[in-house]
Every structure is written in structure tokens, then in C-alpha cells.
């Protein structure tokens, strides 16, 4: 299906969000090996203003994505993945190159990102956010994939 955008250019609906290795949004975690829940201390460090009923936050086994090994945390509600938080840390020059590679991949699949410091792309089933930071000679690339289903979750407010 196509939509007509100003100035009258046709563009197909974007495809679903990219997978980060074996992890995709809306994946059921039943049977996934190696998931470890975040500790209460780790959860408190997230400084979350909102949580969701039935939510779990998990350290997942590292994943291969874009030729690199990423640290992965999964957010789930009632056993379904609604959030993938992937982080790669390494030499600053490699972080810049990796950031560009992910940005090119997403731009080709989903169009130009929303303007701003963080790059944001909408997909048919959610969105993706890409960020990079440098600390001395190290670089950190963060890639977040969030399901549209989050809009329907019942919110709770952690103490």
C-alpha cells in the first residue's frame, strides 16, 4: 500500500523494525535462553518515571548486529518484547563508522530520520532511535527499537 506525501510523492509504508540479531519487537521470550532479570539496583539506576503492568526487564545474551557484538537489554510485557536496547562500546573511530552504517541502513529502509540530536525512524510496527557518544578515546553507540504496542500498555508509576 502506498501513501501520498507532500509534495505528492508516493512512498510505501515502511517495513517492520529491524531485528538486532535474534531479537525483534513483539517476539515471545518463552524458551529464550540466557535471560537474566535486572536487579532492583539496576532498575533504580534507570530512574524510570513509568513502568508497565506485567513488565520485565532482562539482560539478554550479546547479539551480532552490523558485524559487531552488542550488549542487549530487553523490555517485555506479559512475555512479549516491546523494547530492545542495544549498546556497542569500542574505539571512538569505530563508533563513528558503526553509527554511520546503522544510519545508512535505517535511512534506506525507512527514509530520512526525524531531525534532532537523536536519529529517529518510524516503521510499520514501531520506531528506532540511534545515538552516539564519545568519552575520551571510547565511543558508545546506542540503538533502541520500540514497539507501537507500548501505547496500549497499562502504566504503573514506580516509587
Question: DSSP for 45-96?
Answer: HTT-S-EETTEEEEEEEEEEETTEEEEEEEEEETTEEEEEEEEEEEEHHHHH
Does residue 2 fall inside a structural domain? Answer: no
Q: Considering the domain boundaries, does residue 99 fall inside one? A: yes
- Give the mean model confidence (pLDDT) for residues 3-27: 76
Residue 10 inside a domain? The answer is: no
Residue 6 has pLDDT above 60, yes or no: no
In a domain, 130, yes or no: yes
Q: In this predicted structure, what is the pLDDT of residue 89?
A: 98
Task: Identify whether the C-beta of residue 58 lies closer than 8 Å to the C-beta of residue 43.
Answer: no
Q: Is 142 helix (H, G, I), strand (E, B) or coil?
A: strand
The DSSP element (H or E) to which 115 belongs, if any, is: none
Domain that holds residue 119: 24-156
Residue 18 lies in a domain: no
- Residue 13 pLDDT class (50, 70, 90 cuts): low
- Per-residue pLDDT of 16-68, as tens digits, reads 999 999 999 999 999 899 999 999 999 988 888 889 999 999 999 999 999 99
| Domain assignment of residue 12, yes or no | no
Tell me, yes or no, whether 19 lies in a domain: no
95: closest CA among 68, 129, 64, 59? 68
What is the structure's pLDDT at 117? 83
pLDDT per position as a tens digit, 65-121: 999 999 999 999 999 999 999 999 999 999 999 999 999 999 999 999 988 889 999
In a domain, 9, yes or no: no
Average pLDDT of the residues in 125-141: 96
Mean pLDDT computed over every residue of the chain: 91
Amino acid at each position: 500500500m502506498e501513501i501520498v506525501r507532500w509534495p505528492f510523492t508516493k512512498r510505501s509504508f515502511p517495513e517492520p523494525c529491524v531485528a538486532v540479531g535474534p531479537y525483534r519487537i513483539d517476539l515471545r521470550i518463552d524458551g529464550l535462553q540466557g535471560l537474566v532479570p535486572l536487579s532492583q539496583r539496576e532498575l533504580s539506576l534507570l530512574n524510570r518515571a513509568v513502568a508497565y503492568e506485567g513488565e520485565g526487564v532482562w539482560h539478554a545474551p550479546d547479539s551480532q548486529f552490523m558485524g559487531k557484538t552488542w550488549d542487549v537489554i530487553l523490555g517485555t510485557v506479559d512475555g512479549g518484547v516491546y523494547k530492545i536496547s542495544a549498546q556497542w562500546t569500542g574505539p571512538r573511530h569505530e563508533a563513528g563508522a558503526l553509527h554511520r552504517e546503522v544510519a545508512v541502513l535505517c535511512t534506506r529502509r525507512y527514509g530520512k530520520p526525524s531531525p534532532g540530536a537523536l536519529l529517529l525512524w518510524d516503521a510499520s510496527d514501531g520506531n528506532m532511535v540511534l545515538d552516539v557518544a564519545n568519552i575520551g578515546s571510547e565511543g558508545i553507540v546506542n540503538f533502541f527499537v520500540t514497539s507501537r504496542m507500548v501505547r496500549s500498555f497499562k502504566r504503573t508509576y514506580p516509587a
